[in-house]
Structure 1
């Protein structure tokens, strides 16, 4: 009876993973269909001279690259800071400081994103650097919180068993704790990436570029087509980043979890 139950559970896991794998391709397909529809509209729409210049393929590509640069640089800094800090705050000497650090990270995300970006711009100048610092402060919380929650959720008996087998604390962290906590940590990474893509559009208000320039231009010049283009492309980029995060989350998860 136990053998048949084990076999059935393995079969159900395989079926669910295959369904999950197939489901992963729905989101990029939707993004591709919407993007093709937008490009067809852009090629056939009756646009004014200003709209044609603003929505020229080279201009759109440049804005998209700027948006990606803002997102990826900020994401790299958030990962380098958030995950090690989260690990550190779960170690015994630093656990008491976790509450204070989380409150500070929560304050960064609770502040209005536009206000945070503008305040940092007055401090650091209206530059790419100010936008990156603001984005890092705004999106640090999900990764930091999920790293702490994931590591604290690891069964203590497994940690004690690994230490009893002679593994060092560092080896236990790398071979037991982090693999078991990785689904929760990766979920925080995906959340932070989506937040970064959306918030990066606000960097245009301090001259840091990105797809937010289209939104700002459309609002200032009363050009709905430009405004909608900026919002649509930002949304499609967020969906694509979310999909990439889900792919990494699915395939980076340790087998058996």
Structure 2
């Protein structure tokens, strides 16, 4: 009997200590909900058709099909990058294999019919896919969600290629005070995704804001020296889009 219990205890402990050497891999191995962003360009002359198709992905019957693939909370965005309209699709993922999220997405009938409207990223072409699953380089849980409907926010900017290594490193070791700042601001499920377009590095963030009006008013005048120092560390790594006044610029929300 003792031997039986020892076997059980060792098995459980073995499962608990499964881990990798990076925060990203540890998240994958944790079994917790993952976050995904997919990327594709619209074909010339097909921007409006592609937007219309993306809007159908939030219909109830389609949402049920996605849920069977472990996909929920889907929203889509558009932005002109390098003179072409790019689409980004975000969703939460609870499937068995994180890297198969794009396969689950593309297996849904309404997504299959969109393929003729899109120009894939070169790396997606290698895998015979229309959509590229972007690299997920940062995640902050932030504030606990409330019963209120969150505001979904997605923005984009570029990273200076010679600062990529440093930018990646600091976003794998985000300061605790920065996480605290986001929680105070009512920001939840903040993620950053990265992709190369030719010689340029683009990144996209997604976040859900549960901030109340009172929180927003408070944060407008909230002096947080930690967040300010973090910005001074990260900002020199960024390369704003042509004509942009600020480092980060909003993307058009196509569907929510």
Higher strand share: 2
State the structure with more CA Rg: 1
Higher helix share: 1
Tell me the TM-score normalized by structure 1: 0.27
Tell me the TM-score normalized by structure 2: 0.27
**Which of the pair has the greater relative contact order for Cα pairs under 8 Å at 6+ separation?**
1
